[in-house]
């Protein structure tokens, strides 16, 4: 604090603002480093650095190296970044909307809803003309996942929120009910599925980045980028909503518009993530929680940092899942659950007294 | 602030039944009444927080037709209690209000607003670590920062407060009351729901007494806070006295002993 002539006090940028800025830079560097690490990981004859040197010199890689790098590892890298950012941002936005650090698309059933959409698209899509399916298959899955996510977010908000206050108990219980319902419908669809579809469906349950292709990347990249950027415009509204709907309104925030924007953002980001990677849990709860501890709950810094940390964290989890049982691969959903479930339990434990069961 | 023929129903039950309400800038207007008389409901109707029938205008513009951000620039509201969802620091909460007001360009306002409510140096404390009374003053500072005066803009600015001193000790009650009187003297308008009749008598320029959703009296303190009005409103025999020295209406529990 600096005293100036008329006795007023000029605030310096707060400790938290400085930390948030540092965190952003740190995460950006980490993102680049871990991207390179991820590209270099895996079985290949030519060392990664000599491949890079060849590329920088403007020469062509040999065919196998080129396919491994550009058609296998790069789409997988981009998918991990997009899905990680989407999951973390939708978690942070949902927590802001529900005014609760335990709200997470994976835990309260939004991911299940999106998964049901995707499963329906896979199984029922078989009844569409083959030509159409070839053209629009991955978009159809992404769209169906979005619709499923949106429907479950709206339902959840209706059930769990009353007069701008969300009951945690109702929210978690509604999530369980939703997941059970989705499980039942999925069971019916799985019963109808043929063998190829069954393999696809198993993949949904566990969550994996193994099937990443450029087609899938293209089908979700625009949605994820738009969601992440749009979420930044929600930041002020979510900050206001932290004091309750009435207080937010009196501070000039268009509450209904902010809420609608947040619900759309959560549904679209979760839907895209689920459409290409299935049920990867806990990123949406771990990332915002860590960032709130490090640089405070201000959504203006929380949301961009969540996108970065989500991308870095999922990339890290992907590297673990690829290396821990190499040459086989552990589904990434298992890795994120092992890392994330304890964090969820820890928050629950810390807040046990204020939950009001 | 002018409101005409206000009706509010909650759950199909009429809570406010035809209230006319006026408040002038430059004055402190207090709303009092027994529990359940509709004080808070009236305030929430006047701020547009709950749907109400009737006409309401602030600074000569109809409230219903004004967008939230425009109202936020001339009016701040403090609710009876506010829960904060995430671990914000005091300063961050005050700046939420500050950003919505006309003084948003002046970065010194949040610290000055905190100084006004006696919380200098609390800026970087975690909100959830404060006592109830301190938290209440944080929200008052947030409201003050939102309607902080801007030189050259002399449209009346308003504070709508629901029991702003309810969790405060006597020292801070007097501090806040003086602060609100100063706000009014500088041309602002204050509308406050009050619980304590003696404090009301001390600081209000006008007192509106509610009972069962209707106005029983609307006059300066000395004319509203009379033995007959108060006894009727609170439905028990009460005797208003006078405070020694000031001559203000006063109600001492000791005077009400039934012999």
- Residue B151: give its domain's CATH number: 3.40.50.300
Is A155 among the domain residues? yes
Distance CA A44, CA A64 (A): 9
Two structure tokens written together for B218: 């609307």
Strand partners, B250: B241
Q: What is the pLDDT of residues A299-334, one digit of tens each?
A: 999 999 999 999 999 999 999 988 888 778 888 888
- Beta pairing, strands B206-211 & B249-250: unpaired
- Compare all CA atoms of chain B with the CA of A243 and give the residue at the minimum distance: B84
CB atoms within 10 A of CB B152: 5
End-to-end CA distance of chain B: 45
| Cα separation, B31 vs A353, whole angstroms | 36
Q: What are phi and psi of A96, to 5 degrees?
A: -65, -40
Query: Is residue A79 included in any domain, yes or no?
Result: yes
Residue A356 scores a pLDDT above 60: no
Q: Which domain holds residue A329?
A: 68-349
Number of folded domains that form chain A? 1
pLDDT at A11 exceeding the cut of 70? no
pLDDT in tens, B44-91: 999 988 888 888 999 888 888 888 888 999 999 999 989 898 999 999
| Pick from B67, B77, B112: CB nearest A9 | B112
3-class SS of residue B186: coil
User: What are the respective helix, strand and coil percentages of chain A, to the nearest 5?
Assistant: 75, 0, 20
How far from B206 is each of A218, A307, B29, CA to CA, in Å?
66, 53, 5
B18 φ, ψ (degrees, to nearest 5): 75, 65
Give B90-100 pLDDT, tens digit per residue: 999 999 999 99
Short-list A161, A283, A282, A301, CA closest to A239? A301
For chain B, what is the domain count?
A: 1
Helix pair B170-185, B132-146: axis angle to 10 deg: 10
Q: Is the pLDDT of residue A217 over 80?
A: yes
Contact B85 A9 (CB under 8 A): no
Residues 6+ apart with CB under 8 A from B120: B111, B114
Give the residue carrying structure tokens 């929200």.
B139
Q: Is residue A176 part of a domain?
A: yes
Is the model more confident about B28 or about A6?
Answer: B28
User: For residue B85, how many other CB atoms are within 10 A of its CB?
Assistant: 18
Question: Do residues A28 and A34 make contact, with C-beta atoms less than 8 angstroms apart?
Answer: no
Instruction: Find the distance separating the first CA and the last CA of chain A, reported in whole Å.
Output: 43
Q: Is A3 inside any structural domain?
A: no
Q: Using a pLDDT cut of 90, give the percent of chain B over it.
A: 68
With CB atoms and an 8 Å threshold, state whether A16 touches B111.
no
**Per-residue pLDDT at B259:** 47
Of residues B51, B91, B48, the one with CA closest to residue B72: B48
Model pLDDT, residue B2? 86
Packing angle, helices A214-241 and A74-98, rounded to 10? 20
Provide mean pLDDT across the span A1-13. Answer: 44
Select the residue from A250, A289, A302, A356 to test the B interface by mutation, using most B Cβ atoms within 10 A.
A250
* Of A170, A90, A103, nearest in space to A347 by CA: A103
**Contact in structure between A238 and A97 (CB atoms under 8 Å):** yes
Mutation site for B-interface testing, chosen from A252, A299, A301, A354 by largest number of B Cβ within 10 Å: A252
B221 close to B248: Cβ distance less than 8 angstroms: yes
* Tens digit of each residue's pLDDT (9 = 90 or more) over A93-110: 999 988 888 888 887 888
Residues B122, A42 contacting (CB under 8 angstroms) = no
Chain B contact for A298, CB < 8 A?
yes
d(CA B155, CA B25): 10
Indicate whether A24 belongs to any domain: no
Domain that holds residue B220: 2-256
What pLDDT score was predicted for residue B211? 92
CA nearest to B80 within chain A: A247
pLDDT number for residue A1: 37
Whether A194 maps to a domain, the answer reads yes
- Arithmetic mean of pLDDT over chain A: 84
Question: The domain that contains A242 carries what CATH number?
Answer: 1.10.3470.10
Tokens of B4: 């005409």
Please determine, for residue A337, whether its predicted confidence score (pLDDT) is greater than 70: yes
Q: What is the mean pLDDT of residues B126-154?
A: 92
Any B CB within 8 A of A289 CB: no
State the count of interchain CB pairs (< 8 A) between A and B. 98
For chain B, what percent of residues have pLDDT higher than 70? 99
In this structure, how many other beta carbons lie within 10 angstroms of the beta carbon of residue A256? 11
Q: Does B77 touch chain A (CB under 8 A)?
A: yes
d(CA B220, CA B217): 10
Residues B150, B163: Cα–Cα separation, whole Å: 27
- The answer to whether B208 touches B224, Cβ cutoff 8 Å, is yes
Considering only CB atoms, which chain B residues are within 8 Å of A11? 91, 107-108, 110-111, 123
* pLDDT bucket at A163, cuts 50 / 70 / 90: low
What φ, ψ does residue B17 adopt, rounded to 5°?
A: -120, 85
User: Cα–Cα distance between B212 and B36 in angstroms, integer?
Assistant: 7
Q: Within a 10 A sphere around the Cβ of A57, how many other Cβ atoms?
A: 7
> Which of A170-174, A255-259, B172-176 has the lowest average pLDDT?
A170-174
Asked if B73's CB is within 8 angstroms of A252's CB, the reply is yes
Q: Chain A contacts of B77, Cβ < 8 Å?
A: 246-247, 250
Would residue A62 count as lying in a domain? Answer: no
Q: Residue A8 pLDDT more than 60?
A: no
Contact across the interface for B108 and A11, Cβ inside 8 Å:
yes
Q: Is the pLDDT of residue B182 over 90?
A: yes
Q: Confidence band (pLDDT; 50, 70, 90) for A191?
A: confident
Taking the Cβ of residue A240 and every Cβ of chain B, the question of whether any pair is shorter than 8 Å is answered with: yes
Q: Which residues of A touch B99 (CB under 8 A)?
A: 236, 251
pLDDT at res. A13: 63
CB contact under 8 A, A252 and B49: no
The answer to whether B36 contacts chain A (CB < 8 Å) is: no
Contact at CB, B79 and A247, closer than 8 angstroms: yes
């Amino acid at each position: 604090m600096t005293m100036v002539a008329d006795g007023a006090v000029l605030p310096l940028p707060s400790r938290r603002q400085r930390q948030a800025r540092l965190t952003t830079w740190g995460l950006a560097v980490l993102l680049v480093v871990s991207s390179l690490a991820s590209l270099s990981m895996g079985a290949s004859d030519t060392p990664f650095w000599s491949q890079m040197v060849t590329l920088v010199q403007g020469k062509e890689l040999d065919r196998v190296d080129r396919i491994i790098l550009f058609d296998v590892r790069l789409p997988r890298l981009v998918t991990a970044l997009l899905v990680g950012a989407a999951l973390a941002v939708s978690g942070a936005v949902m927590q802001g909307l529900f005014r609760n650090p335990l709200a997470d698309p994976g835990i309260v059933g939004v991911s299940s809803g999106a998964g049901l959409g995707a499963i329906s698209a896979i199984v029922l899509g078989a009844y569409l003309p083959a030509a159409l399916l070839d053209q629009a298959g991955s978009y159809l899955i992404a769209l169906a996942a979005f619709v499923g996510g949106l429907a479950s977010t709206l339902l959840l908000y209706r059930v769990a929120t009353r007069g701008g206050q969300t009951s945690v108990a109702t929210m978690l219980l509604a999530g369980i009910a939703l997941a059970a319902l989705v499980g039942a419908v999925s069971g019916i669809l799985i019963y109808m599925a043929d063998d190829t579809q069954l393999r696809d469906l198993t993949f949904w349950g566990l969550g994996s980045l193994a099937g990443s292709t450029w087609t899938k990347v293209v089908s979700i990249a625009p949605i994820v980028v738009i969601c992440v950027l749009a979420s930044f415009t929600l930041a002020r509204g979510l900050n206001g909503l932290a004091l309750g709907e009435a207080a937010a309104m009196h501070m000039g925030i268009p509450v209904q518009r902010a809420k609608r924007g947040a619900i759309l953002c959560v549904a679209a980001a979760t839907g895209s993530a689920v459409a290409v990677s299935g049920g990867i849990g806990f990123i949406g709860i771990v990332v915002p929680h860590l960032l709130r501890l490090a640089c405070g709950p201000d959504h203006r810094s929380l949301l961009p940092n969540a996108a970065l940390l989500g991308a870095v964290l999922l990339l890290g989890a992907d590297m673990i899942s690829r290396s821990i049982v190499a040459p086989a691969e552990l589904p990434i959903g298992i890795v994120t659950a092992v890392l994330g479930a304890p964090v969820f339990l820890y928050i629950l434990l810390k807040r046990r007294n204020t939950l009001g069961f | 602030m002018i409101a005409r023929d206000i009706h509010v129903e909650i759950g199909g039950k009429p809570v406010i039944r035809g209230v006319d309400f006026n408040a002038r800038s430059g004055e402190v207007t207090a709303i009092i009444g027994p529990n359940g008389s509709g004080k808070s409901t009236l305030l929430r109707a006047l701020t547009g927080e709950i749907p109400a029938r009737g006409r309401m205008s602030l600074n000569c513009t109809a409230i219903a037709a004004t967008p939230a951000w425009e109202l936020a620039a001339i009016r701040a509201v403090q609710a009876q209690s506010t829960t904060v969802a995430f671990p914000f620091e005091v300063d961050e909460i005050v700046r939420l209000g500050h950003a919505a007001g006309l003084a948003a360009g002046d970065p010194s306002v949040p610290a000055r607003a905190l100084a006004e409510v006696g919380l200098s140096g609390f800026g970087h404390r975690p909100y959830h670590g404060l006592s109830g009374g301190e938290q209440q003053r944080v929200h008052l500072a947030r409201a003050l920062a939102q309607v902080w005066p801007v030189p050259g803009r002399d449209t009346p600015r308003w504070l709508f407060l629901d029991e702003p001193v309810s969790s405060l000790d006597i020292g801070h009650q007097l501090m806040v009351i003086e602060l609100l009187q100063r706000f009014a003297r500088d041309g602002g308008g204050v509308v406050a729901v009050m619980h304590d009749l003696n404090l009301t008598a001390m600081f209000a320029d006008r007192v509106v007494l509610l009972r069962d959703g209707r106005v029983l009296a609307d006059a300066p303190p000395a004319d509203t806070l009379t033995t007959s009005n108060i006894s009727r409103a609170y439905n028990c025999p009460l005797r208003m006295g006078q405070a020694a020295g000031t001559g203000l209406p006063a109600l001492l529990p000791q005077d009400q002993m039934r012999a």
